[in-house]
Amino acid sequence: MVNRKLAKVSSFRYTILAIIFVILAAGLVLLPKYVKHEGIDPAELLSKASSTERYISSDVLADKIINQDPSFILIDVRNEAEYEKYSLPNAINIPLKKLLDEDSIPYLNQSQYSVILYSNDNIYADQAWVICNRLNYKNLKVLKGGLNNWYNTIINPPSPTENMTNLDYELFNTRKAASMFFGVVYPEQIKADKPIVVKKAAPKKVITVEKKKKKPAEGGC
């Protein structure tokens, strides 16, 4: 009995398969369409964005520059005019508009260096950070407070008042020393009548980035 039933069904096997085929193909037509986005998952982006690790403070950055840390590149996302006026040593200018240009991608999309983005405040740099992260670029950081904060902490550090702790004085001294490194001259240096040694702000760093090789998938018969 079972065999006869099976035989009856199996005589229709090609019809059944054909129907399955048509149903599957029709399913493709009827499925609701959606627009696909490139890059990482929104949830992942959000968790990265809310992490404080994406910021680098001006003190840490100054320390890195002074010690000639080779592991990072600086990217200035302001426009060219502002970049010409003042920027950090060895920074590369990639204005926000040119962020997705062919020429700027090798600097941003690489795993050799960590990338430190900055602008006047951290707003433009944050925008660049979000765009680049969305494209799944790695090792991106933003200078906290941008160049304004850089100026207020490193170049022109506020002198501690008498009611502050020893730590604040130490911080001030470090920052003052750092500012000297970046070319600031203090009145007491002149009073001391010493020859003023204005150090060249950080030796020129040559940044070479390899273009990512894209291996084309090959195929054939």
CB of 187 to another protein, least distance (A): 58
Looking at 31-104, list the stretches that DSSP marks H as alpha helix, in order from N- to C-terminal side: 42-49, 58-66, 80-85
Q: Toward another protein, which CB reaches closer, 18 or 201?
A: 18
195 is an interface residue for another protein by CB under 8 A: no
Task: Classify residue 116 as exposed, middle or buried by CB count within 10 Å of its CB (0-12, 13-18, 19+).
Answer: buried
CB of 28 to another protein, least distance (A): 4
- Per CB under 8 A, which region of 53-61, 176-184, 194-202, 212-220 contacts another protein? 212-220
Tell me, rounded to whole angstroms, the distance of Cα 101 from its chain centroid: 15
206 is an interface residue for another protein by CB under 8 A: no
> What is the rounded CA–CA span in Å between residue 37 and residue 44?
14
Q: Toward another protein, which CB reaches closer, 187 or 220?
A: 220
> What is the rounded CA–CA span in Å between residue 138 and residue 153?
28
CB of 39 to another protein, least distance (A): 12
Return the amino acid letter for 28: L
Q: Toward another protein, which CB reaches closer, 134 or 176?
A: 134
User: Phi and psi (nearest 5°) for 186?
Assistant: -100, 155
CB of 213 to another protein, least distance (A): 11
Return the amino acid letter for 112: Q
User: Phi and psi (nearest 5°) for 43?
Assistant: -65, -40
Per the CB < 8 A criterion, the answer to whether 212 and 109 are in contact is yes
Binding mask 5-44 for another protein (x = CB under 8 A): ---------x---x--xx-xxxxxx-x----x--------
- Per CB under 8 A, which region of 66-74, 138-146, 160-168, 213-221 contacts another protein? 213-221
Residue 159 DSSP code: P
Q: Toward another protein, which CB reaches closer, 22 or 196?
A: 22
| Residues engaged in binding another protein (CB under 8 A) | 14, 18, 21-22, 24-29, 31, 36, 215-221
